[in-house]
Amino acid sequence: MHPAAEHSPLGKSSEYISTYTPSLLFPIPRLAKWAELGVSGDALPWQGVDYWNCFELSWLLPSGKPVVAIGEFAIPADSPNIIESKSFKLYLNSLNQTVFASTDELQACLEKDLSAAAGKPVAVRVRTLAEVEGEGVVALPGQCIDGLDVAISNYEQPQPKLLQCDPQRVVEEAVHSHLLKSNCPVTGQPDWGSVVVEYKGLALDHASLLTYLVSFRQHADFHEQCVERIYLDLKRLLKPEYLTVYARYVRRGGLDINPYRSTGAISPNNLRLVRQ
C-alpha cells in the first residue's frame, strides 16, 4: 500500500458532507510509485493525462433549484499528486447543497481546488446530460485480442517476462483488450478496465500481451500506476518510434478514471465505452 493512502478516507467509514468542503480532497504523491517503477519525477519517460469523469455532479442555483451534470477532469500525468478517489467523491458530494450563480462559477471553483490538490493545473469541463448522451459510446481502435486461445496461470503480479516480440519485424498497429483487472491497494476491491496499445515498433506477439495483461488480475495498485507499468514494460520490449498506452476503467462511486501515457504529446478524445 502507498504509505500516504493509509491516512486517506479510502476503506474507512465516512460522513457525507453536503456543503462545500475543499479540505476533503486528499492528495497522494506520485513519487513513491514512480520510484517503484524506477522512474524519476525529474525526467518522466511519458507524457499524458488522467481523465476522470464524474456522473454524480450536482449543485444548487440561487433559486434553490438543483442541477445535475457530468464533470470531466483532466489531471496532467506529471502532476506531483494523484487525488485519492474516495476523497474526490466526498468533495464532489460536498457541492450538493452549495449555491453557485452559474456553471462558470462552479467550473472555476473546481479548477482551483483540484489544481491545488494535484499540484498542477487541472482542466475541468462541466457537461450537460444531453451533450454526453449525444456522443454515445465508442469502440476501441485496432484489433481485440481477447479471442486468442491462450493458457494462463499467472494472476498475482505483472509478469513482463511473458511479453514477446519479433525482433526482425517493425509494425504500426493498435490492439486492445477488455480483460484488464487489478485490485485497489487499500480496499482490495476490483478495478475493471479496457486497455489500448498503439505503437510503431518491433512486432508485439498478441498472445503474449494477453497473458501479460491477465497477470494483473490479482495485482494491487492504483489505476495510474497499472497503466504506467504496462507502458514501461512495452517501451523496453518494443523499442518503439512511438507508443501510447491507455486504459478506460469502469466507474466506482460515480467516478471513472482513464489514464493515458505516451511517448509524445497527445490530446485524446475522452469518449465512453459501452461498460462506462
Binding-site residue numbers for substrate are 83-85, 223-224
Catalytic position from the list 54, 113, 165, 184? 184
| Residue numbers belonging to the annotated binding site for NADPH | 85-86, 252-253
Residues 6+ apart with CB under 8 A from 274: 137
Give, in degrees to the nearest 5, the angle at Cα 84 between 251 and 157: 75
Q: Would you call 184 a catalytic residue per the annotation?
A: yes
Catalytic position from the list 50, 113, 191, 256? 191
| Residue numbers belonging to the annotated binding site | 83-86, 223-224, 252-253
The closest of 225, 172, 216 to 50, measured between CA atoms, is: 225
Q: Considering all CA atoms of the chain, what is the largest pairwise distance in Å, rounded to the nearest integer?
A: 68
Q: Are 207 and 143 in contact (CB under 8 A)?
A: no
Q: Would you call 50 a catalytic residue per the annotation?
A: no
Alpha-carbon distance 44 to 32, whole Å? 14
The closest of 217, 195, 216, 191 to 206, measured between CA atoms, is: 195
**Residue found by looking up cell 481502435 in the block:** 141
Q: Which amino acids are annotated catalytic?
A: 184, 191
